[in-house]
């Protein structure tokens, strides 16, 4: 990851939001020593879009001269390696409009326009005319669809493109109005973001690079959507974190642990509210101190009384105190 690269991406203007997201994630994967070559699967996952849509936006970035794609092949197996992305700020960068195709020599001199290359790689503008020089396959002259007659023999179905403009659509999983409402709820308003900056003691006029543009707002959205915090709770947690540190955080990632702790406390508080209060313990039974009175109560009541439960000594004690009568004892079988 390079701060200079991502700052460069943030400063670019005139791009569509998704195109700028793709550019930012490319710069986030840039290594000053080795370059930028994330796989399409990784890049599509980071941008939360399909690989087909990703290729469209890469083509747009290439068309406006912000990057150049260089395909790579393993010299031994001839299998395709992750594409090398040369970004516009790298030394010696040349826009794709003036770079000839390395395999068949086509380029700016043959009338290939930038707009023609917006949908794919530098050689896409002439792919319909000439087959692939490495593998000898391509699009037949009579083909009427966007799919080649046979997939690449080296990469199987990796080159088969599921276009986002496919007229056959799957049914919507949710009503359109609900989806539009969900998208509206996902946005972090300028007021909330300004309150967050104020709670952190940051001056909007002199923001550090990691607090500029849309990436920090997207980070705040994740605190809300993934951790379950409200916007007010996010601001309160940020203010509490700022009191513990003398300097404002360099970027939103520095507040991740504080937000995770706030979310954990919220879950614990909700769990305590859901728990039922414990019932008071039952009072302890009083010890029996007057055994003759206890057994006399059993004899005089209709409750079950085993004959062997009353000894001769207990019988004499009950009779001496007048607690029972001899007739009642005989009725209960006590001799």
Q: What is the pLDDT along the chain (335 residues), one digit of tens a residue?
A: 678 888 898 999 989 999 999 999 989 988 887 888 888 888 899 999 999 999 999 999 989 989 888 888 888 888 888 888 888 888 878 877 655 544 444 444 444 443 343 344 433 433 343 444 444 444 444 444 444 445 555 544 444 455 444 444 444 454 444 444 444 456 788 888 888 888 888 888 888 888 888 888 888 988 888 888 898 999 998 888 888 888 888 888 888 988 999 999 888 888 887 776 677 777 777 777 788 888 888 888 878 878 788 888 888 888 888 888 888 888 888 77
Q: What was the pLDDT predicted at 148?
A: 47
**DSSP category for residue 249:** -
- Cβ atoms of 31 and 2 within 8 Å: the answer is yes
With beta carbons less than 8 A apart as the criterion, state whether 150 and 137 touch: yes
109 vs 124: CA distance, rounded Å: 16
Is 262 in contact with 229 (CB distance < 8 Å)? yes
CA distance readout (Å), 67 to 62, 81, 122, 220:
5, 18, 11, 29
CA-closest candidate to residue 295, choices 283, 285, 282, 305: 305
Q: Nearest-CA neighbor of 71 among 106, 22, 117, 120?
A: 120
Q: Please tell me the predicted confidence (pLDDT) of residue 125.
A: 39
User: What number of other Cβ atoms are within 10 A of residue 68's Cβ?
Assistant: 21
Question: What's the pLDDT at 242?
Answer: 85
Owner of token pair 């799957």: 170
Identify the CA nearest to 100 among candidates 75, 122, 125: 122
- Long-range (24+ apart) CB contacts under 8 A made by 44-49 are 47/18, 47/21, 47/22, 49/18, 49/22
pLDDT for the residue 49: 93
Burial, 5: exposed, middle or buried (Cβ in 10 Å; 0-12, 13-18, 19+)?
A: buried
Question: Please, are residues 218 and 46 in contact by the beta-carbon 8 Å criterion?
Answer: no
Residue 160, SS3 per DSSP: coil
Q: Which helix (H) or strand (E) holds 9?
A: helix 3-11
Q: Are 69 and 85 in contact (CB under 8 A)?
A: yes
Instruction: Identify the pLDDT of residue 126.
Output: 36
Structure tokens at 332: 């209960």
Neighbouring-strand partners of residue 67: 87
The reported pLDDT for the residue numbered 185 is 52
SS3 235: helix
Backbone angles phi, psi at 132, to 5 degrees: -60, 125
Distance of alpha carbon 189 from alpha carbon 167, whole angstroms: 35
Rounded to whole angstroms, how far apart are CA atoms 51 and 70?
17
Cα separation, 46 vs 55, whole angstroms: 14
- The pLDDT value given to residue 276: 66
CA–CA distance from 113 to each of 14, 99, 100, 122, 131 (Å)? 20, 12, 12, 10, 20
With both helix axes pointing from N to C terminus, report the angle between 190-199 and 215-227 in degrees, rounded to the nearest 10: 90
């Amino acid at each position: 990851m390079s701060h200079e690269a991502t700052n460069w991406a943030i400063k670019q203007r005139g791009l569509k939001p998704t195109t700028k997201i793709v550019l930012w994630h490319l710069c986030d994967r840039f290594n000053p020593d080795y370059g930028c070559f994330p796989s399409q699967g990784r890049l599509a996952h980071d941008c939360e879009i399909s690989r087909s849509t990703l290729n469209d936006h890469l083509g747009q970035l290439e068309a406006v001269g912000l990057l150049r794609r260089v395909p790579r092949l393993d010299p031994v197996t001839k299998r395709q390696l992750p594409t090398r992305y040369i970004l516009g700020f790298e030394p010696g960068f040349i826009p794709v409009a003036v770079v000839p195709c390395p395999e068949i020599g086509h380029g700016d001199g043959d009338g290939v326009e930038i707009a023609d290359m917006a949908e794919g790689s530098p050689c896409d503008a002439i792919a319909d005319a000439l087959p692939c020089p490495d593998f000898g396959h391509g699009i037949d002259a009579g083909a009427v669809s966007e799919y080649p007659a046979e997939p690449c023999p080296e990469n199987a179905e990796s080159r088969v493109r599921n276009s986002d403009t496919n007229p056959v659509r799957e049914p919507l999983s949710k009503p359109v109005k609900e989806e539009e409402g969900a998208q509206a709820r996902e946005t972090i308003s300028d007021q909330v973001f300004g309150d967050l900056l104020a709670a952190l003691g940051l001056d909007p006029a002199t923001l550090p690079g990691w607090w500029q543009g849309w990436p920090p707002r997207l980070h705040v959205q994740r605190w809300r959507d993934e951790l379950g915090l409200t916007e007010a709770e996010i601001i309160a947690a940020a203010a509490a974190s700022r009191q513990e540190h003398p300097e404002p955080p360099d970027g939103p990632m520095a507040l991740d642990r504080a937000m995770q702790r706030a979310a954990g406390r919220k879950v614990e508080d909700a769990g305590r509210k859901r728990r039922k209060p414990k019932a008071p313990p039952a009072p302890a039974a009083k010890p029996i101190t007057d055994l003759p009175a206890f057994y006399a109560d059993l004899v005089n009541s209709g409750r079950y009384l085993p004959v062997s439960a009353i000894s001769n000594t207990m019988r004499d004690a009950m009779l001496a105190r007048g607690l029972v009568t001899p007739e009642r004892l005989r009725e209960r079988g006590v001799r």
